[in-house]
Chain A
């Protein structure tokens, strides 16, 4: 790797492409930016990340340098170019770079966010104290808002939702999803690899080896993230897929025939001993009814029964945000949590559905 770049605080001029080309210039709209080089701050999935400030626009950015690995199809750039949502890390510019060994690196210039949800949780575990329940609620809301956009407008499945890939700003409670290195536009007719998604957050249908899974795997992962924020540790830990599945069965009980069929029909013939589920209210003793019910709706074996992202947003768990007062209201307003853009977030609904959803999601908005 380019070491000089890391050690000196020299200023770099770069010919780059815009992340979201505007109109006439076609696919690759060129631009020129200047920024001081800084130290590597982190190692995201698939590459190093450093932060700097673009001189021209005074934007704080993170530059993610990814080795173009020919063995894996990296759809990250294509997908990032597509996406524009307040709760998704924005691709500002990108450029390619070759190192002295002839390896090609893709550099993605992205929104800067101070930390990951993983780091945020670690902070609380370290103190030790519980993460504020309202903060969790704000993050989860934004997560499902971005998933709704991803799944229903961009038609992209993230496939690696985990605390490390959710960037947050604790001061504003803002959350943005990052790392689209595993993301893909799923087509119902085409099989997909099942070996995606990080351990602990893998939906049961993935562990069962399903290749025709849906966007709903992201909802399961999100449920696991929420459970982890509440518990301070992963809900379904396990070194192997088998162990993770055992952990899941320990809590949710043995899946029924119907549920197994919904996950992967190939496993229908196998008989499992019946394990009784442990009610989630006993796992999450301190949480209120709505929270527990919401977890139950996201952690369902059957992907079709599992709430989709929009259903999650409509859950009464989030009512507190919609009827917020005082300081919480300021946060809700500043993050524009109740703003929905019809074209990108609600256009997939029928007129009737739209009415009902609007009533639920924007109860206080005067139309």
Chain B
């Protein structure tokens, strides 16, 4: 970390290279009311004074996160990368054949800066509440019109994130927000076939605090997430701090599949209004998770309308994380298949029903408390790179096993060559013609790409004064961007990108 210029820990610049006495004037003003509060932060509505665009401002108190600074930086870096990728995809005008575009439903980071007290993240404004509140308010969601479409949307998001090598690790109702509907199109209802709640287009997956990149060198063994939502392979990492080196080595690293498990929990919660694994105490809950013992209501089990739902859950609640379906595979499941153009693939494995387990343990079938993330965060040293098999083995019995390995390598190489050489224009535009049904539904999308900021409206991590608070932000639209005053011009003394030194990070292990 940068040397402490001032004694107080919280005023040490953590992001910016510049020193505190050259703090730039903040280009954002906040509105008083809180939109929400995370574990270490408050979220307020704010406005960029240059562009007059409204955003959510997440202020993370440095005092609170002092020793978890690295997590904030990681979140910033990931959000930045993801937002850049979203922009890139939009610029290429890539559209899938599915109703939902995964990258349209992740929180976009617009800007970030640092003040004396806080790290401030300027993000897309999602002020229509979260999924948790919606489920609690409605008891449970309607299986046909809401649960299916919401799940389909989240599957698209996970497919996008996992495709970018990012695992979220905290998928839960509280982290699914609703954005403001800004769609000017007339809603296109899907007459007859599958009517659905159009708010599915407003879902946003937020809070990338636990999200991380997975690459061949990562060995995820941290015990993080939210108790009710964690996967069995994460449960096995509990108490990793107290394990011996050998035990830690023996522990299998987990991967993208933890998000799929959490999605199963969330789907269950949406449909029924209570949690699948929650018991009266924590140990019992963990016990239920590792034994895949989720509560099955006898009446709901028999309901023929719910059979696809149960079968979908079985896909998500597969104990073996390597056998668990990927987001791409889940798209083909009959439960949500209608929302995806990939539906023509008939994956036999998806239809094999597993015998339903009956729970013996006592359950609290009440709605859960608003969960706060299970913050047992450990920081693991990276093991030397060893092969992490994230992709399910390709079962192709046609080829003899001894030939299969070299063949697989060659196929990978073919794939890479194709990826390199196939004209991007040819591939990018291949899906422009969508099936009409889905194309119509795409008009319901409320996605708006974050505004392209004029260069001088950004703080880019620089050190600044705290944003002023204004009681009202109702700025007349007539205040055009051109006329907005130039007196806020800031000497961009940093402009530096977030550049992390891993060695540095490793030094400050975070143990709660």
Chain A 200-225 against B: per-residue CB contact (8 Å), 1 yes, 0 no? 10100011110000000000000000
Taken together as a complex, chains A and B put the C-alpha atoms of A118 and B345 apart, in Å, by 11
User: Is B1 in the interface zone, CB < 8 Å from A?
Assistant: no
Kindly identify, within residues 433 to 454 of chain B, every residue whose CB is under 8 Å from any CB belonging to chain A. Answer: 433, 435-437, 439-440
Q: Which residue of B lies closest to A237 (CB)?
A: B345
Question: Nearest-CB distance from B308 to chain A (Å)?
Answer: 13
Contacts of B192 in A (CB 8 A): 6, 39-43, 48
Tell me if A273 and B415 are in contact (CB < 8 A).
no
Contact of A270 among B347, B399, B421 (CB under 8 A): B421
Chain B 337-359 against A: per-residue CB contact (8 Å), 1 yes, 0 no? 00001101111100000000000
Tell me if B411 and A122 are in contact (CB < 8 A).
no
Kindly identify, within residues 403 to 428 of chain B, every residue whose CB is under 8 Å from any CB belonging to chain A. Answer: 407, 410-411, 413-415, 417-419, 421-423, 425-427
Taken together as a complex, chains A and B put the C-alpha atoms of A45 and B348 apart, in Å, by 26
User: Is B190 in the interface zone, CB < 8 Å from A?
Assistant: yes
Contact of A233 among B190, B191, B348 (CB under 8 A): B348
Tell me if B430 and A246 are in contact (CB < 8 A).
no
Contacts of A195 in B (CB 8 A): 426, 429-433
Taken together as a complex, chains A and B put the C-alpha atoms of A45 and B398 apart, in Å, by 36
User: Is A12 in the interface zone, CB < 8 Å from B?
Assistant: no
Contacts of A367 in B (CB 8 A): none
User: Is B367 in the interface zone, CB < 8 Å from A?
Assistant: no
User: Is B186 in the interface zone, CB < 8 Å from A?
Assistant: yes
Tell me if B421 and A246 are in contact (CB < 8 A).
no
Contacts of A336 in B (CB 8 A): none
Question: Nearest-CB distance from A9 to chain B (Å)?
Answer: 15
User: Is B97 in the interface zone, CB < 8 Å from A?
Assistant: yes
Known: A199-B97, A278-B399. A232 touches B414 (CB 8 A): no
Contacts of A254 in B (CB 8 A): 414
Contacts of A48 in B (CB 8 A): 191-192
Tell me if A246 and B411 are in contact (CB < 8 A).
yes
Contacts of B429 in A (CB 8 A): 193-195
User: Is B370 in the interface zone, CB < 8 Å from A?
Assistant: no
Tell me if B415 and A239 are in contact (CB < 8 A).
no
Taken together as a complex, chains A and B put the C-alpha atoms of A39 and B193 apart, in Å, by 11
User: Is A130 in the interface zone, CB < 8 Å from B?
Assistant: no
Contacts of A72 in B (CB 8 A): 433
Tell me if A246 and B415 are in contact (CB < 8 A).
yes
- Count of residues in B whose CB is under 8 Å from the partner chain: 44
User: Is A275 in the interface zone, CB < 8 Å from B?
Assistant: yes
Question: Nearest-CB distance from A187 to chain B (Å)?
Answer: 20
Tell me if B426 and A283 are in contact (CB < 8 A).
no
Tell me if B422 and A241 are in contact (CB < 8 A).
yes
Taken together as a complex, chains A and B put the C-alpha atoms of A181 and B439 apart, in Å, by 14
User: Is A125 in the interface zone, CB < 8 Å from B?
Assistant: yes
Taken together as a complex, chains A and B put the C-alpha atoms of A202 and B431 apart, in Å, by 11
User: Is A47 in the interface zone, CB < 8 Å from B?
Assistant: yes
Give chain A's interface secondary structure class.
loop
Question: Nearest-CB distance from A6 to chain B (Å)?
Answer: 6
Chain A 105-121 against B: per-residue CB contact (8 Å), 1 yes, 0 no? 00000000000001000
Contacts of A233 in B (CB 8 A): 345-348
User: Is B328 in the interface zone, CB < 8 Å from A?
Assistant: yes
Tell me if B437 and A234 are in contact (CB < 8 A).
no
Contacts of A42 in B (CB 8 A): 192-193
Tell me if A283 and B398 are in contact (CB < 8 A).
yes
Known: A42-B193, A249-B414. A209 touches B407 (CB 8 A): no
Contacts of A182 in B (CB 8 A): 433
Tell me if B430 and A242 are in contact (CB < 8 A).
no
Question: Nearest-CB distance from A273 to chain B (Å)?
Answer: 4
Contact of B422 among A1, A239, A242 (CB under 8 A): A242
Question: Nearest-CB distance from A110 to chain B (Å)?
Answer: 15
Contacts of A209 in B (CB 8 A): 422-423, 425-427
Contact of A118 among B342, B344, B437 (CB under 8 A): B344
Taken together as a complex, chains A and B put the C-alpha atoms of A246 and B396 apart, in Å, by 14
Contact of B426 among A181, A194, A200, A271 (CB under 8 A): A194
Kindly identify, within residues 23 to 60 of chain A, every residue whose CB is under 8 Å from any CB belonging to chain B. Answer: 39-48
Tell me if B186 and A101 are in contact (CB < 8 A).
yes
Known: A44-B436, A66-B436, A195-B432. A122 touches B346 (CB 8 A): yes
Kindly identify, within residues 143 to 193 of chain B, every residue whose CB is under 8 Å from any CB belonging to chain A. Answer: 186, 188-193
Taken together as a complex, chains A and B put the C-alpha atoms of A199 and B417 apart, in Å, by 20
Contacts of B193 in A (CB 8 A): 40, 42-43
Tell me if B344 and A163 are in contact (CB < 8 A).
yes
Tell me if B417 and A270 are in contact (CB < 8 A).
yes
Tell me if B431 and A125 are in contact (CB < 8 A).
no
Contacts of B346 in A (CB 8 A): 122, 125, 232-234
Question: Nearest-CB distance from B89 to chain A (Å)?
Answer: 13
Contacts of A122 in B (CB 8 A): 346
Taken together as a complex, chains A and B put the C-alpha atoms of A240 and B437 apart, in Å, by 20
Contacts of A237 in B (CB 8 A): 345
User: Is A274 in the interface zone, CB < 8 Å from B?
Assistant: yes
Contacts of B440 in A (CB 8 A): 67
Taken together as a complex, chains A and B put the C-alpha atoms of A249 and B413 apart, in Å, by 12
Contacts of B190 in A (CB 8 A): 43
Q: Which residue of B lies closest to A279 (CB)?
A: B398
Q: Which residue of B lies closest to A194 (CB)?
A: B426
Which of A125, A208, A273, A276 has the largest number of chain B CB atoms within 10 A? A273
Tell me if B418 and A242 are in contact (CB < 8 A).
yes
Chain B 290-315 against A: per-residue CB contact (8 Å), 1 yes, 0 no? 00000000000000000000000000
Taken together as a complex, chains A and B put the C-alpha atoms of A101 and B187 apart, in Å, by 12
Q: Which residue of B lies closest to A200 (CB)?
A: B344
Tell me if B422 and A43 are in contact (CB < 8 A).
no
Contacts of B439 in A (CB 8 A): 46
Tell me if B410 and A273 are in contact (CB < 8 A).
yes
User: Is A133 in the interface zone, CB < 8 Å from B?
Assistant: no
Contacts of B407 in A (CB 8 A): 275-276
User: Is A349 in the interface zone, CB < 8 Å from B?
Assistant: no
User: Is A282 in the interface zone, CB < 8 Å from B?
Assistant: yes
Kindly identify, within residues 252 to 285 of chain A, every residue whose CB is under 8 Å from any CB belonging to chain B. Answer: 254, 266-267, 270-276, 278, 282-283
Question: Nearest-CB distance from A16 to chain B (Å)?
Answer: 22
Taken together as a complex, chains A and B put the C-alpha atoms of A272 and B435 apart, in Å, by 33
Kindly identify, within residues 63 to 97 of chain B, every residue whose CB is under 8 Å from any CB belonging to chain A. Answer: 97
Known: A40-B192, A101-B186, A275-B414. A242 touches B425 (CB 8 A): no
Question: Nearest-CB distance from B173 to chain A (Å)?
Answer: 28
Q: Which residue of A lies closest to B190 (CB)?
A: A43
Q: Which residue of A lies closest to B427 (CB)?
A: A241
User: Is A245 in the interface zone, CB < 8 Å from B?
Assistant: yes
Could you jot down 12 A-B contacts, CB within 8 Å? A48-B192, A66-B436, A182-B433, A194-B430, A196-B433, A200-B344, A200-B345, A202-B430, A239-B342, A242-B427, A243-B415, A273-B413
Known A66-B436, A209-B423; 14 more pairs at CB < 8 Å: A6-B191, A46-B436, A48-B192, A198-B341, A199-B342, A208-B422, A209-B426, A209-B427, A234-B345, A239-B342, A240-B427, A266-B423, A272-B413, A272-B417
Please list the 8 inter-chain residue pairs (A to B) with the smallest Cβ-Cβ separation, ordered nearest first.
Answer: A209-B426, A46-B436, A43-B437, A195-B430, A40-B192, A273-B410, A195-B429, A233-B346
Chain B residues packing against A (C-beta within 8 Å): 97, 186, 188-193, 328, 341-342, 344-348, 396, 398-399, 407, 410-411, 413-415, 417-419, 421-423, 425-427, 429-433, 435-437, 439-440
